[in-house]
Amino acid sequence: MRDVAFGQYYPTGSPIHRLDPRAKLIFSLLFMIFIFFAKSYTAFLYVFIFLTIVTVVAKIPPKIVLKSLKLILFLLIFTGLINLFLYDEGRLLASWWIFTITDKGIDFTIKLALRLALLVIGTNMLSLTTTPMELTDAIESLLKPLKYIKVPVHDLAITMSIALRFIPTLMDETDKIIAAQKARGAAFDTGKVHERVKSLVPVLIPLFVSSFRRADELADALDARCYNATKNRTKMKKLKFSYRDLIAFLILAVLIVLIMLDCYLTKAPSDSLFFGTDYYIVNLFKSWIG
């Protein structure tokens, strides 16, 4: 559980960390949207280069970034196997009973895995470079127009921030409970699947009790400090857009333009395995060797 990186903040003081949190939140949303327009390996290469540049500039070790993939490893394997054996379009390579393997099925599976992996890594960069309080201020600022229709924006923002803040805390708590249960003779790595699931019950119950206890203590602490979400609350740090945010937006805009150009300007025929720039590169390579 200590290896899970989601929800953890990695301070380095880089230019990425100093970006306005509202800008980073908007950039993350745009990244999540436009990565689904990437349909060729060339487009995925653009995204990979972009994330590599962000990681280098943010001074975050690649090992920390790749840890976020552990959360979706099972999902990658499960969805990959389903699409590999049940995707029936394209040239048939092998078949058995209701299962088939086609060239387009392999291509679709690889691209799906790449899209999910890059999506998780890209969105995880938000939590690695932004503190929970900065996220709270950014969410509250972006949702500020909803205040006019009586939506408790500040309450929603602080709730999301607290939930994000307690992810690594609960991870550490789970790790301690598992270690304590192992010291009492509990086995989590042996036995059949249903036996392993059953062995998690002594972990989940203390974890729920600890979570409610922490929530109660946090509520008492907020109440003792007279914390409230009145409209007259002031902030110690004022959010301001700067030239760094503009430069970051231009870099992201370049990535979006490249993805959209690859998606719409060089489409492939319906019977082709390749798409976008891939189709152009493959045909160019065939003309060279032909």
Cα–Cα dist 225/195, whole Å: 46
Cα–Cα dist 289/71, whole Å: 44
Residue 222 domain-assigned? no
Question: Which residue, 32, 33, 43, is CA-closest to 267?
Answer: 43
Residue 146 domain-assigned? no
Residue 2 domain-assigned? no
Cα–Cα dist 165/155, whole Å: 15
Overall domain count for the chain = 1
Residue 276 domain-assigned? yes
The residue segments making up the domain with residue 51 are 12-131+241-290
Cα–Cα dist 157/135, whole Å: 8
Cα 48 to the center of its chain, rounded Å? 14
The pTM for the full model equals: 0.75
- Residue 192 phi, psi dihedral angles, 5° rounding: -75, 175
Asked if 132 and 161 count as a contact pair (C-beta separation under 8 A), the reply is yes
3-state secondary structure 252-267: HHHHHHHHHHHHHCCC
- Single-letter code of the amino acid located at 67: K
pLDDT in tens, the chain (290 residues): 455 555 578 888 889 998 999 899 999 999 999 998 888 888 899 999 999 999 999 999 888 888 878 777 888 888 878 877 777 776 777 777 777 777 777 888 888 888 989 998 888 888 889 887 788 788 888 888 887 888 887 778 778 778 777 777 888 888 888 888 778 777 766 666 666 677 777 788 888 888 888 888 888 888 888 777 666 666 677 778 888 899 999 999 999 998 888 877 666 555 555 666 666 565 666 666 65
CB atoms within 10 A of CB 123: 16
- Single-letter code of the amino acid located at 5: A
Tokens standing for 209?
Answer: 């009790």
Residue 265 domain-assigned? yes
Residue 217 domain-assigned? no
Residue 187 domain-assigned? no
Residue 61 domain-assigned? yes
